[in-house]
Chain A
Amino acid sequence: EPEVTQTPSHQVTQMGQEVILRCVPISNHLYFYWYRQILGQKVEFLVSFYNNEISEKSEIFDDQFSVERPDGSNFTLKIRSTKLEDSAMYFCASSAGPPGTGELFFGEGSRLTVL
């Protein structure tokens, strides 16, 4: 069964460093997303990406964040100058159609720990 894969599963970084989280969405999907979940809390939307551009982003997704689809298969989230409060689980998701038309398929997540 096709699945969304994410790497790394866990990354530890020093405050102020840059991190890149990687995702391989399901191959025939067109819509890609990044979500964040601080331990024990709700799932928070960060950004959606369609047709090689950001289609929607939340207030959380400020200039510290960026996304890219560099090669037609990978979908990356870059976090610049990490802060302690960026520590969270980051989930990538993909869907065949727009968000309100069907299932979002989530990866297993990348846990980011900022020290």
Chain B
Amino acid sequence: GENVEQHPSTLSVQEGDSAVIKCTYSDSASNYFPWYKQELGKGPQLIIDIRSNVGEKKDQRIAVTLNKTAKHFSLHITETQPEDSAVYFCAETSGNYQLIWGAGTKLIIKP
């Protein structure tokens, strides 16, 4: 069945360094790939998304890249700050169907 693999499960980086989280998916029809950030005690919040007709999208310190051939997409956070500490979820869908979610990555920013 459809599946999204997300790695790593935990990522610890020094403040100011970059963080990269990777996801792979299995459905070749997938065309929408959002990333959600979940802070402690809160619901997930969309931080960036990308569609299959684009290879890369950037929003300030956050970027997402998509490789449709290899079926993987990645979240890049540069110049990490303490407020970036959270759990990050990737997800994908092929259209009107529900999002398939990754298992999450706990990002820890060390001061």
A: residues with CB less than 8 A from B are 4, 33, 41-45, 48, 56, 58, 91, 93, 98-104, 106-109
The 8 residue pairs across chains A and B that have the minimum distance between CB atoms: A106-B43, A100-B93, A98-B96, A100-B32, A103-B46, A42-B103, A43-B101, A100-B95
Q: Which B residues lie at the A interface, using CB under 8 A?
A: 31-32, 34, 36, 38, 41-46, 49, 89, 93-99, 101-104
Which residues on the B side are within 8 Å of A58 (C-beta)? 98
Q: How far is the CB of A47 from chain B (nearest CB, A)?
A: 9
- Closest chain A CB from B3 CB (angstroms): 12
Shortest distance between the CB of B64 and any CB in chain A (Å): 14
A43-B36, A106-B44 provided; 4 other pairs, C-beta below 8 A?
A: A43-B89, A98-B95, A104-B44, A104-B99
The number of residue pairs between A and B whose CB atoms lie closer than 8 Å in the complex comes to 59
CA distance A100 to B51 in the complex (A): 9
Q: In whole Å, how far is A8's beta carbon from the nearest beta carbon of chain B?
A: 15
Residues of chain A contacted by B45 (CB below 8 angstroms): 106
A-side contacts of B93, CB under 8 Å:
99-100
Q: Which residues of A contact B32 (CB under 8 A)?
A: 100-101
Q: Nearest residue in B to A43 (C-beta to C-beta)?
A: B101
B18 → chain A, closest Cβ, in Å?
Answer: 25
Q: Which of A100, A102, A107 contacts B96 (CB 8 A)?
A: A100
B101 engages A42 (CB within 8 Å): yes
Interchain nearest-CB distance for B13 vs A (Å):
21
- Assess the B44–A108 pair: CB atoms within 8 A: no
Given contacts A99-B93, A100-B31, A100-B93, contact A45 B46 (CB under 8 A): no
Residues of chain A contacted by B103 (CB below 8 angstroms) = 41-42
